Amino acid sequence: MIVSVDALFSRNNKIGSKLIAKGTKHLESAIPETSHVSVLINKRWIHEATGAGVKVISYDLWKTIHTEVNRIQLSNREYQEIADQFRLIKDKNYDYPGIFFLGICIIPTFIGIPLPKKNLWESTNRYFCCEVLGYLTNKYYGMSAPCQILAKLLKDSNG
């Protein structure tokens, strides 16, 4: 069965979300404040990483927590392919060292120093939200804030 796949960008009222949204806004000033990215399958199931780890929740439940900022349609995929791929990371822990390294590296960007290309503290067995999207789409987002991914996907979708 072929399913739709969307990158879903959001924010919420939690302190961590506010810090990420405001702390990364300067990286893509034309993009609305966003702090999280998840993968929406068939407009119904959210595949994401939060502090609780990598999980699947319903879109209806997700909407009670998050404010949707934008969604970008990605290539449709065979459900079994994406389910098999996600099963390999489901229930993995959150990549706290990786997100901490990204956070440290964002500080010098306020004075124009670019982000490194590689996250030196990322784990091959833990994931933060951007890494889940990257894993499921075969892209590297280990050194990207959600606003940067949204800007890139918007640019790619507009040619």
Own/partner contacts of 56-61, CB < 8 Å, gap of 24 or more, are: 56/86, 56/90
Nearest to 8 by CA among 73, 71, 89: 71
DSSP state of 66: -
pTM: predicted TM-score of the whole model, two decimal places:
0.96
H/E run at residue 65: none
Give per-residue pLDDT as tens, 4-15: 999 999 999 999
Give per-residue pLDDT as tens, 69-123: 999 999 999 999 999 999 999 999 999 999 999 999 999 999 999 999 999 999 9
The listed CATH number (3.90.1720, 2.60.40, 3.30.70, 1.10.3470) that belongs to domain 2-157? 3.90.1720
pLDDT at site 159: 66
pLDDT at site 140: 98
Helices and strands: H and E segment counts in the chain: 6, 7
Residues 6+ apart with CB under 8 A from 159: none
What's the mean per-residue pLDDT of the chain? 97
Residue 141 has pLDDT above 90, yes or no: yes
In percent, how much of the chain has pLDDT > 90? 98
Give per-residue pLDDT as tens, 119-135: 999 999 999 999 999 99
